[in-house]
Amino acid sequence: MAKDRKIDLVILGLLFHEDLTGYDIKKRIDGAISFFWKGSFGSIYPALSEMEKSGLVKKRRAVDSGRREKILYHITDEGINALKEWLNVEQAANDLKYETMLKLYFGGAEEKGIALKNICYFEEQVKKDLAILQVYQKNLEKVLDKKDHIYYYLTVTFGIDTYEAYLKWCGRAKKYLEAC
């Protein structure tokens, strides 16, 4: 497996539960996962091809008579081992890029009003995303007894907790800036 290509692990993690097409994988990533990891078709399809060559996944052609060709991928034992190995490694890269904070840090190059505006833009985006996460949370609360849903739930609460902290900070930051 490619050394630093985390998309491989995302794919293996998703395939651990069920066989999926590349398109399905993209849809899953665009759901709750997108709050802490992203992926595009341009990275998913090549990754699937390479992982098939190295034996981590295998193809299962579902012809669905009449439908367009659709390739279901299935995780192999080797793939499961790779997934488990990764879970057992301590190292985890949490790589955060906040362009909003960059703009705020350099806010002194413009008037105070510009910095305030940028905080407001951020606040609006966070509110929208938080609303989405809260819907995920409600849906997950109904099925918490099911295997694995506890893990999905915890990542969603992580998002909610941090987004709520963002909003509190926005309120304080705006007051602080306005007052000075």
Partner DNA sequence: ATCAGCATGTAAGGCGTTACATGATTCA
Partner DNA sequence: TGAATCATGTAACGCCTTACATGCTGAT
Residues that bind DNA (CB under 7 A): 2-7, 21-24, 27, 38-43, 45-49, 66-71
Using CB under 8 A, which of the segments 44-52, 65-73, 132-140, 144-152 binds its own copies?
144-152
Nearer to DNA, 60 or 138 (CB): 60
Nearest approach, Cβ of residue 26 and DNA (Å): 7
Residue from 61, 63, 69, 87 touching its own copies (CB under 8 A): that is: 87
Instruction: Based on the shown chain and the rule CB under 8 A, indicate whether residue 178 belongs to the binding site for its own copies.
Output: no
Q: Is residue 75 within 8 Å of 55, Cβ to Cβ?
A: no
Query: Distance (Å, rounded) from C-alpha 8 to C-alpha 25?
Result: 11
DSSP state of 68: P
Q: Which residues between 108 and 127 bind its own copies (CB under 8 A)?
A: 108-110, 114-115, 117-118, 121-122, 125
Residue from 57, 104, 133, 140 touching its own copies (CB under 8 A): that is: 104
Sign of the CA dihedral with 39 first, then 41, 43, and 44 last: positive
Query: Distance (Å, rounded) from C-alpha 68 to C-alpha 113?
Result: 54
Strand partners of residue 61:
71
Kindly report the CA angle at 36 between 167 and 140, in degrees rounded to 5? 80
